[in-house]
Structure 1
Amino acid sequence: MQAGTHQNHPLFTLSDIIYLILGVLSASFALKSFLVPNHFLDGGVTGISLLFHEVQGWNLGLILILLNIPFIALAYFKVSKHFAIRSALTIVLIALTLHFIPFPELTHDKLLVAMFGGFFLGIGIGLSMRGGGTFDGMEVLALLTLKRSSFSITEIILGMNIIIFIIAALFLKVETALYAILTYVIAGQMTKYVIEGIEAYTGVTIVSSNPDAVKRALVLTLNRGITVYKGERGFMKESFEQSADVDIIFTIVTRLEVRKLRNIVHEIDPKAFIFTSTVREPQGGIVKEIIKH
């Protein structure tokens, strides 16, 4: 993460403040209106806080602050000073919101609680991250663990949360743990969607027998920049020694443009080889930045 690495980078911008406030309100709404009244759990530090709240009856906001202190300290020294400050303020705001704002209890249907609790919690986490902070220190721990292991961040967080869910099953009920997993999955998907946005980027690689027409269509019709690699095609089992030079075209489009791109290429060359891949946090070139760190 790169927040605050430049000396003149402001601690907060207007968009940061808006994202963080909306994130706090959404997460607090999820907790007070869905999860807490129905004794539900989630993953991460939030899940541990909810577990302590259920088992010991401790104040949820205070637990959330106390449990996140070590992670904020780690973030301050290992990630970024600005990221740590933003995260600390976000956590304090959530604790105050939970204490002072009386959100209504909307439903006691367990499936609805899991779905909409996870939905609004995920939106809250995603908006907070777009504002350059977080209110769950588990992500910081995962980033630090990543440097010392061969697992991805997603796998590390999942492993940590499995331990939380097992503890929940032991201290509460298996049903509670199962609903916690559902809440966690929904929250995770919503977080991903909010961070990446509807314009999440996709890398598209195209190998065509008519590369010049494909290049013109992508640049002039779709208005996208392209990169061309020089390669070889052929190497079939029946004719391994035969090959031909080929232009391998690569471009980045939004998720909504993938089908349009496929249709354009298919009209030019129905037999063109096309495959896609997820592109995370593209920077530079003509691709706009979609997430702040």
Structure 2
Amino acid sequence: MSASAENQSIRHTPVEDLLALVAGCIFMALSVAFYRHAGLLTGGTTGLAFIFHYVSDWSLGVILFLVNLPFYVFSWLAMGPVFTLKTFGAVLGFSVMTEYMPVFLRLEYMDTFYAAIAAGFLAGTGILIFIRHGASLGGIGVMALYLQKKRGWRAGIIQMGCDALILVAGVAVVPFQALLLSILSALALNLVIAMNHRQGRYFGF
């Protein structure tokens, strides 16, 4: 079987892509619920949204949506319209689910160490689902995927470096212990991506 025929045989259907984006949004919204409950931060544009949320009265869901808007132009030019539209849908769904998650889930107690690890793994899995169905959560993730596609650089490593810078900026809004746990969570998140999203492995189409 030729490479093109093989790729065609595993191409995701629109229904599969839709279900995957919904699943990814649920994973991500759950991770954000854990982060918020434990008073932690995360990386990427979600981390930036958390910082703005902690220092303002703005809704986290609204900030999540707005902070990604500037990246759609880059996404359209670098990754194409299909990727960009899927990413827009993922960010919109994630933002809405994050905003209304307290309606469906109320947490009374969660150990902060467990919250950091679980949130990192949940977020990493959610992002991996998006990647494998030709989408992302915008922002830094778009640039990381572009550099992996064009230069072969590992998306997880790129994301980890950017996350570290964002988390360092978070020292002004969260206690030092929470910052350390946030760094641990970021490592867990990026470990999932680095181990499971490599050149030559399953990408999805």
Structure 2 length normalisation: TM-score? 0.81
Instruction: Look up the match of 1:280.
Output: 199
Describe the superposition over 1:184-222 as per-residue Cα deviations: whole angstroms up to 9, x where unpaired: 1111223345x45xxxxxxxxxxxxxxxxxxxxxxxxxx
Paired residues of 1:168 and 1:176 also in contact (CA < 8 A): no
RMSD, aligned α-carbons: 2.8
1:108 deviates by 3.0
More helix by share: 2
Distance 1:149 1:184 in 2: 24
Give the direction of change, closer, same or farther, for the CA distance of 1:23–1:155 in structure 2 (3 Å limit): closer
SS in 2 for 1:132: coil
1:38 deviates by 1.9
Distance 2:149 2:204 in 1: 22
Instruction: Look up the match of 1:83.
Output: 83
Structure 1 length normalisation: TM-score? 0.59
Distance 2:88 2:172 in 1: 31
Distance 1:143 1:152 in 2: 8
Paired residues of 1:107 and 1:113 also in contact (CA < 8 A): no
Distance 1:12 1:78 in 2: 23
Instruction: Look up the match of 1:40.
Output: 40
Instruction: Look up the match of 1:292.
Output: 204
Higher alpha-carbon deviation: 18-27 or 104-113? 104-113
The question of 1:138 aligning with 2:147 is answered no
Amino acid paired to 1:92: L
1:106 deviates by 5.7
Higher alpha-carbon deviation: 50-59 or 140-149? 140-149
Instruction: Look up the match of 1:111.
Output: 113
More strand by share: 1
Higher alpha-carbon deviation: 47-56 or 170-179? 170-179
Instruction: Look up the match of 1:182.
Output: 184
Instruction: Look up the match of 2:193.
Output: 191
The correspondence of residues 128-277 of structure 1 with structure 2, limited to 5 A, is: 128-143=130-145, 153-192=155-194, 195-196=196-197
Instruction: Look up the match of 1:31.
Output: 32
Instruction: Look up the match of 1:61.
Output: 61
Amino acid paired to 1:115: I
SS in 2 for 1:42: coil
Give the direction of change, closer, same or farther, for the CA distance of 1:145–1:17 in structure 2 (3 Å limit): closer
Describe the superposition over 1:223-270 as per-residue Cα deviations: whole angstroms up to 9, x where unpaired: xxxxxxxxxxxxxxxxxxxxxxxxxxxxxxxxxxxxxxxxxxxxxxxx
Distance 2:21 2:150 in 1: 31
Structure with higher RCO (Cα < 8 A, 6+ apart) = 2
Describe the superposition over 1:132-152 as per-residue Cα deviations: whole angstroms up to 9, x where unpaired: 111142122335678999976
Distance 2:40 2:200 in 1: 33
Paired residues of 1:39 and 1:54 also in contact (CA < 8 A): no
Paired residues of 1:16 and 1:130 also in contact (CA < 8 A): no
Amino acid paired to 1:75: S
Instruction: Look up the match of 1:20.
Output: 21
1:157 deviates by 2.7
SS in 2 for 1:69: coil
Amino acid paired to 1:97: M
Distance 2:180 2:90 in 1: 28
Q: Percent identity at matched positions?
A: 22
Residue correspondences, number: 193
- The unaligned stretches of length 5 or more in structure 1 are 1-9, 197-278, 283-289
1:125 deviates by 1.1
- The unaligned stretches of length 5 or more in structure 2 are 1-10
Distance 2:19 2:66 in 1: 25
Distance 2:145 2:121 in 1: 24
1:292 deviates by 2.0
